[in-house]
Structure 1
Amino acid sequence: MATCFFLRAKFVLDKARRWMWKGRGTPSRNHKHHWLVEQKLLHFVDGFHQYVMDRVFHNSWLELCEGMSAAGSLDEVIEVHEAYLSSIQRQCFVVLDKLWALIVSRIKNILELALDFYTIQQTLSSGGAALAIKARCEMEVDRNERKFDDCIAFLLIVLSFKLNVGQFPHLADLVARINYNYFYMSDSGNLLTVPGDDATVLKLGRPSQ
């Protein structure tokens, strides 16, 4: 997945935050909620972008350099380079696999939610939005947060299961970045979702040891 999509999402979230910080957004009682949703989106975008740049690109590049230094023929050079590309694609979920495709779809959904949030804040910052439009924007923020929580829950369940059965150890870094300080899922495997002010705890099915 190209990093430009993450950079674009980060850019629009930063811009939306500047509008909110300068007080040009809505001064309603829901303003705090907007900050929370923006930070949720930004944390995911930053975390996944860092995973791609640090865990995937950087480590794969070091492995490529080491392999190229040890290569003794053109065939070995080609083999090392193909392994490098394959490693990047696998760690970024760019493979022909139905489950990986579902993961990518959730990631894309979150990036689209970032763009939607930007559009909402752009509307609210205009200052001339009618009350009906502002009310619809509030509903959209609530809907986007629910969709975001659903996507995060799916990603953590799937990625954690893959780790538990001993597959794809590189995913541990991604899970740690998404679930920093166990914000969404506890160390014991309890998935925490917080729709509004009510906390709900869901127990993940973990394979027996």
Structure 2
Amino acid sequence: MTPSWSLETQIGDFKLILGIDEAGRGALAGPVAVAGAILPAERVVLPYRDSKTLKFERRVELAEHVKSYAVRYAIKLVPAADIDSTGILKVVIRASEEIIQELQPEAVITDYLKVKTGLPLLAVPKADANSYTVAAASLLAKTARDQYMIELHEKHPEYGFAGHKGYGTQEHVQALQKHGVTPEHRKTFAPVAQGLLFSEN
């Protein structure tokens, strides 16, 4: 599905509309990335797409475009330790609310994330596939997290982080069973907890 300005139009006639999205919510290792972007009010056709539908190189290219084109943007990486102590949904909501405070928009669109705000809020499923603003945020979040996981791979190459980016692939689960967990693993997530048991035996 190609994004458009329909959700921005639906939320109201505002110039500063903030799109928020996250990446890495279901991963077993690494941070969750939450990003927000406010685009210029002009309703032009943009090349932005849901980051999950694009190849790595294209995502990086478009994320750089977002950074230069956006009126304001912010990216937050919440570490595994915070996810374990607070819970994945709570840390995503907290980071999103911090971005709202930081960027000072007039209205907010999220990918079905119901944040606390006194601003007009549109929280709808698949917003990253239907809104240029949320698609821009998804590109920022995904590329920032991918880069983090590529750098993490250099520290722990035995886990293959550069390939699976911390998600629960067969390769990753097997590495957990063989090598145990790192400080970057989310110990409250079941496959990681099982790997922790292996490493303690």
The two structures have a TM-score, normalised by structure 2, of: 0.24
Greater strand percent: which structure? 2
The two structures have a TM-score, normalised by structure 1, of: 0.23
Greater helix percent: which structure? 1
Higher relative contact order (CA 8 A, sep 6+): 2
Q: State the structure with more CA Rg.
A: 1
